[in-house]
């Protein structure tokens, strides 16, 4: 006698199996969960639609997710010489009188630190660290994009940020 497992529970079990094995075939699902081919395919499609697995011909693969990035304040000292070189190269491309967008991140913060000598700049940013770095700098106007706080990056993001960005343009005077 076969006991029917509700679809959400079966899909959770299937997801755990895929994560452990890294891949699974439709035939393995049929055998392991005692379901029809159609049910196995539907379960895989559901998991794929949720972004939990990658659907491939005849089965599915586990979705490989990058490990979470450490918070921005912990990354500040990592690869510092490289960040300094990248930041200086970026600053060399920026002329007085421009409007630029600076996102968040430790390399971008290095760029902000090197902008103090520029004049008549407008900086659009979602980074609280960039705002803090340049808040008292003469010759630089700051536009802060609103949004929801992402504490790990000390930045603002989301729908409000996107709306504000859609109204702004970067470039020369």
**Domain extent for 38:** 9-62
Q: Is residue 25 helix, strand or coil?
A: strand
Kindly report the pTM of this predicted structure.
Answer: 0.59
Q: Could you count the other beta carbons within 10 Å of the beta carbon of residue 83? A: 20
Residues 6+ apart with CB under 8 A from 65: none
pLDDT of residue 69: 66
52 and 86 part of one domain: no
pLDDT at 1: 42
- pLDDT tens-place string over residues 85-109: 999 999 999 999 999 999 999 999 9
In angstroms, the CA 35 to CA 33 distance is 6
Which CATH number is 79's domain given? 3.30.750
Q: Give me the mean pLDDT over the 105-128 stretch.
A: 95
- C-alpha distances in Å from residue 9, one per residue of 3, 13, 15, 41, 61: 13, 6, 10, 16, 19
Is the same domain home to 127 and 88? Answer: yes
Element containing residue 101 per DSSP (H, E): strand 98-102
Domain count, the chain: 2
- What is the mean pLDDT of the segment spanning 68-90? 83
In 3D, which of 83, 170, 84, 82 has the Cα closest to residue 121?
170
With 80 as the cut, is the pLDDT of residue 78 above it? no
Please compute the mean of the pLDDT values over residues 128-141 and round it to a whole number. 96
CA neighbor of 14 nearest in space, from 38, 57, 46, 56: 46
**Residue 126 maps to a domain:** yes
| C-alpha span between 42 and 47 (Å, rounded) | 9
CA distances from 8 to 12, 15, 40, 140, 165 (A): 6, 10, 13, 54, 39
Instruction: Dump pLDDT digits (tens) for 9-65.
Output: 999 999 999 999 999 999 999 999 999 999 999 999 999 988 899 999 999 999 876
pLDDT, mean over the chain: 90
Tell me: do 41 and 77 sit in the same domain: no
Asked if residue 128 and residue 80 are part of one domain, the reply reads yes
Q: Are residues 31 and 84 in the same domain?
A: no
Tokens of 92: 């060399």
Q: Are residues 91 and 18 part of one domain?
A: no
Q: What is the rounded CA–CA span in Å between residue 130 and residue 123?
A: 9
106 and 140 co-located in one domain = yes
Residue 1 lies in a domain: no
* CATH number (domain holding residue 15): 1.10.10.10
Are 45 and 80 part of one and the same domain? no
pLDDT at 68: 66
């Amino acid at each position: 006698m076969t006991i029917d497992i509700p679809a959400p529970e079966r899909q959770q079990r299937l997801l755990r199996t895929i994560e452990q094995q890294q891949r699974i075939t439709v035939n393995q699902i049929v055998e392991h969960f005692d379901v029809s081919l159609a049910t196995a395919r539907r379960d895989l499609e559901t998991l794929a639609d949720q972004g939990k697995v990658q659907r491939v011909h005849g089965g599915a693969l586990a979705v490989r997710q990058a490990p979470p990035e450490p918070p921005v304040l912990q990354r500040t000292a990592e690869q510092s010489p490289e960040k300094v070189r990248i930041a200086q190269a970026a600053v060399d491309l920026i002329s007085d009188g421009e409007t630029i967008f600076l996102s968040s991140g430790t390399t971008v913060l290095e760029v902000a630190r090197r902008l103090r000598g520029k004049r008549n700049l407008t900086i659009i940013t979602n980074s609280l660290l960039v705002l803090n770095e340049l808040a008292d700098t003469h010759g630089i106007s700051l536009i802060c994009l609103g949004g929801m706080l992402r504490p790990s990056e000390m930045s603002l993001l989301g729908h409000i940020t996107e709306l504000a960005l859609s109204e702004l343009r970067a470039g020369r005077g």
